[in-house]
Amino acid sequence: MARRRPPPFPARVAAAVFLLLLTPAPTSQLGLGSVIAAWIHGSPPPSPSSPDDTDTATASSGAPAGPRSQEYAALQALKAAVTEDPKGALASWQGANVCAYKGVYCSAPPDGAAAAAAGGAASTVVAGIDLNRANLRGTLPDAVSLLAHLTFLHLNSNRLGGAVPDTLRDLQYLTELDLSNNLFSGPFPASTLLIPSLVYLDLRFNAFSGELPPEVFAKDLDAVFLNNNQFEGQIPDTLWTSPATVITLANNRFTGAVPVAPYEFGAGAGTGGRVREVLFLNNNLTGCVPEALGFLPSIQVLDLSYNALSGHLPGTLSCLSGIEVLNLAHNQLTGELPDLLCDLRRITNLSVSFNFFSGISQRCDRQLGSRGVFDFVGNCVPGRDMQRPQPECDEFPGEGGLSCLRIPGARPAGCGGGDAAGVTIGVGVGVGVGGLPFGLPGAAAGGVVTVTVP
């Protein structure tokens, strides 16, 4: 009887991110609310009691002949590349019946053409490998590409290291690749972007380094997990063109500004339309919070905490009508918290703690404080408890605020619903508005000035 594969990871579920936000920062400081639930994975099916009925080997202990030969060679190469197997996860990987190997899942071929290419004799093929949490030490061999019909490869929570083989690009049916919580290193594995059917990519908790190629976000992926590595440099602006619903970049070494959507001016802008959760926390991002972040139509979780962002918050953040978690804690933000932020109806956790805000209205206290979803400790608000010492507030230069100055105004006209008494326009000095050059004298180069037009 053919072995059934486990159900695929439901990457579109917005609550699937909580466990990826493990330390360095305690979860109590991450400002994560009830929107984020437990990690979701399908359970492997029970092992079949009967051997695979399509095995073509002449003896149960010998190498198979015919269409099984490549699969057998690939699995034996993977076993040989493992130097430590403390749990005996691969003890059953012997003999010709590869479908009886623990952690190996067989099913019908993806299509008739694939079966014909394999020789047409086997009614089942190796469709998946699940060796999660086996604590295997070793490497991932090139020969894994011989598993021509593989649809999922789950190897998380092991001690596999070295580089990810370029031959992964040959796995044309692979939809899920989970290499998280291992010891893989080197630059971003570009071969993963050449896997034609891939929709789920999990590389978190490894030692990958270097810059991210812009093509990462051009790939048609449902989920991109890259947190807890050593990636550096600027985050590509192509992030906002990604079709992914979940993108995690937390706990890396990214620098520079928060990526700005290609179409800064105008609501919606056709970008970021599917993304629901974006995590930038614990990098070294600098500069302003971009106005365009307020026009992400589907965002539910946005975490910019533990960076070095400065200046005033844009009023466009009040356009995030579906936002549930907005974490801006542990930055260098200044000015008064826009009252409009406190009108966010679905917010379950709004944290602006440990910045340098000088004013927070009683309106925010009434609308959010009473619900226990508002955290503004560690700021510079006069007359409020648990604020920074006054000398610390006085000594903070606050120069970043000059290049990110925003003039408070009415709810931006670009927001859906409600009456808009003004139009808020965020302008970078020297950029074009509507195709025309536009500059503001006296502003710092690269700065942003927001003007409210009645």
The pLDDT tens digits along the chain (454 residues) read: 444 444 444 433 333 343 344 444 333 333 333 333 222 233 343 333 333 434 444 334 456 655 588 999 999 999 999 999 999 999 999 999 999 999 999 999 987 544 444 444 558 999 999 999 999 999 999 999 999 999 999 999 999 999 999 999 999 999 999 999 999 999 999 999 999 999 999 999 999 999 999 999 999 999 999 999 999 999 999 999 899 999 999 999 999 999 986 544 344 444 556 899 999 999 999 999 998 898 888 999 999 999 999 999 998 999 998 999 999 999 999 998 888 888 888 999 999 999 999 988 777 777 776 677 888 899 999 988 899 999 999 888 765 545 676 655 555 555 654 333 333 333 333 333 333 333 333 333 333 333 333 3
| CA–CA gap between residue 212 and residue 196 (Å, rounded) | 19
| CA–CA gap between residue 327 and residue 418 (Å, rounded) | 25
Strands, E assignment, 360-419? 374-375
What is the second-level CATH architecture of the domain 90-113+122-209? Alpha-Beta Horseshoe (3.80)
Three-class DSSP category at 217: helix
Reading the block at residue 403, the tokens are: 């290049």
| CA–CA gap between residue 69 and residue 126 (Å, rounded) | 12
CB 55 within 8 A of CB 97: yes
C-alpha closest to that of 305 among 28, 15, 17, 37? 28
- The CATH number of domain 232-404 is 2.60.40.420: no
Please state whether the predicted TM-score (pTM) of the whole model is above 0.85: no
pLDDT of residue 322: 93
pLDDT of residue 395: 86
pLDDT of residue 79: 98
Number of H helices, E strands in the chain: 5, 27
Give residues with Cβ within 8 angstroms of 148, minimum separation 6.
70, 114, 117, 118, 125, 170, 171, 172, 173
Q: ∠ at Cα 163 (160, 167), nearest 5°?
A: 105
- Give the H or E element holding residue 248: strand 246-248
DSSP state, 92? T
CB 199 within 8 A of CB 177: no
Q: What are φ and ψ of residue 403, in 5° steps?
A: -90, -5
Three-class DSSP category at 193: helix
CB 160 within 8 A of CB 133: no
Query: 363-388 burial, b for 16+ CB within 10 Å, e for fewer?
Result: ebeebbbeeebbbbebbbbeeeeebb
Q: What is the CA radius of gyration of the chain?
A: 26
Reading the block at residue 4, the tokens are: 């059934």
Three-class DSSP category at 375: strand
Q: In whole angstroms, how far apart are CA 262 and each of 160, 209, 256, 257, 377? A: 38, 26, 17, 14, 35
Query: Amino acid identity of 279?
Result: L
In the chain, CATH 3.80.10.10 sits at 90-113+122-209, 232-404
C-alpha closest to that of 436 among 427, 447, 445? 427
Give residues with Cβ within 8 angstroms of 264, minimum separation 6.
290, 291, 292, 426, 428
pLDDT of residue 404: 74
H-type alpha helices, 153-269:
none
Give residues with Cβ within 8 angstroms of 383, minimum separation 6.
none
- CA torsion 44-179-257-291 (nearest 10°) is -20
Give residues with Cβ within 8 angstroms of 55, minimum separation 6.
64, 68, 96, 97, 99
Cβ-based neighbour number of residue 28 at 10 Å: 7
pLDDT of residue 32: 33
List the beta bridge partners of residue 310. 332
pLDDT of residue 297: 83
* Strands 159-162 and 125-130, sheet pairing: unpaired
Three-class DSSP category at 272: coil
